Chain A
Amino acid sequence: SQKIEQNSEALNIQEGKTATLTCNYTNYSPAYLQWYRQDPGRGPVFLLLIRENEKEKRKERLKVTFDTTLKQSLFHITASQPADSATYLCALDDSGNDMRFGAGTRLTVKP
């Protein structure tokens, strides 16, 4: 069966450290993978998109990697801040028309 698994339900780190979130998928062959941020009571907000032929993508303090052999994406936030505390969702395209999401990882950055 198809699965999208995000490494842990919750991740706690200290301010200034790098947060690393994992997204593993099974029985998908996505051409694109996206990461979203969701704050309580709000809809997800797009952060980054990475294509299957790209190994790495960066945007400010964010970095995403995409390994189609391992079927895994890693999402890094460097120099993390308390304002980065949120739930982060990975999503990948399924058959080109719609997106399927992981359950998310709730990140808490402590001062």
Chain B
Amino acid sequence: KAGVTQTPRYLIKTRGQQVTLSCSPISGHRSVSWYQQTPGQGLQFLFEYFSETQRNKGNFPGRFSGRQFSNSRSEMNVSTLELGDSALYLCASSLAGQGGQETQYFGPGTRLLVL
């Protein structure tokens, strides 16, 4: 089976712009979670989608949003980019979205640089 894929792998944007990142989970997986990883904060939970519904959301401003499609592919959007949004954005998929009971399979991440 193909692993989790994320596109694009690298992105450079300027402040005030918006960005859309894409994640394709492992075939058959219905849950997709998004994380932001920075050297200072580690891996921070953004949100989790299951069957096209957002089930959980972390402590991020409303500029961060996401959605999931019927084929389980997911996108996240960041509007009005700030310098502090520069980070590695990781998505992870799991089969049934049962939290700690299941392995999370991570993609390689999208590295976003905001100038």
Interface status of A42 (Cβ within 8 A of chain B): yes
Q: Which of B56, B98, B101, B104 has most A Cβ within 10 Å? A: B104
Stretch at the interface among B12-20, B62-70, B106-114: B106-114
Q: Contact size class for B?
A: 20 to 34
A66 to chain B, nearest CB (A): 11
Residue from A34, A95, A98 within 8 A of B33 (CB atoms): A98
User: Using Cβ atoms and an 8 Å threshold, which residues of chain A touch B100?
Assistant: 30-34, 49, 91-93, 96, 99
**Known contacts A33-B100, A43-B107, A43-B109; is-contact A97 B42 (Cβ 8 Å):** no
A97 close to B101 (CB less than 8 A): no
**Known contacts A43-B4, A45-B106, A46-B105; is-contact A101 B99 (Cβ 8 Å):** no
Q: Which residue of A lies closest to B47 (CB)?
A: A98
B108 close to A43 (CB less than 8 A): yes
B104 to chain A, nearest CB (A): 6
**Known contacts A30-B100, A49-B103; is-contact A98 B42 (Cβ 8 Å):** no
A interface secondary structure, majority: strand
Q: Contact size class for A?
A: 20 to 34
**Can you identify 15 A-B contacts, CB atoms within 8 angstroms?**
A31-B101, A32-B101, A34-B103, A44-B106, A45-B106, A46-B105, A49-B101, A91-B104, A94-B45, A97-B97, A98-B56, A101-B43, A102-B43, A103-B41, A104-B42
Assuming A98-B99, A101-B43, what are 5 further A-B pairs, CB within 8 angstroms?
A: A34-B100, A44-B104, A95-B56, A99-B45, A101-B35
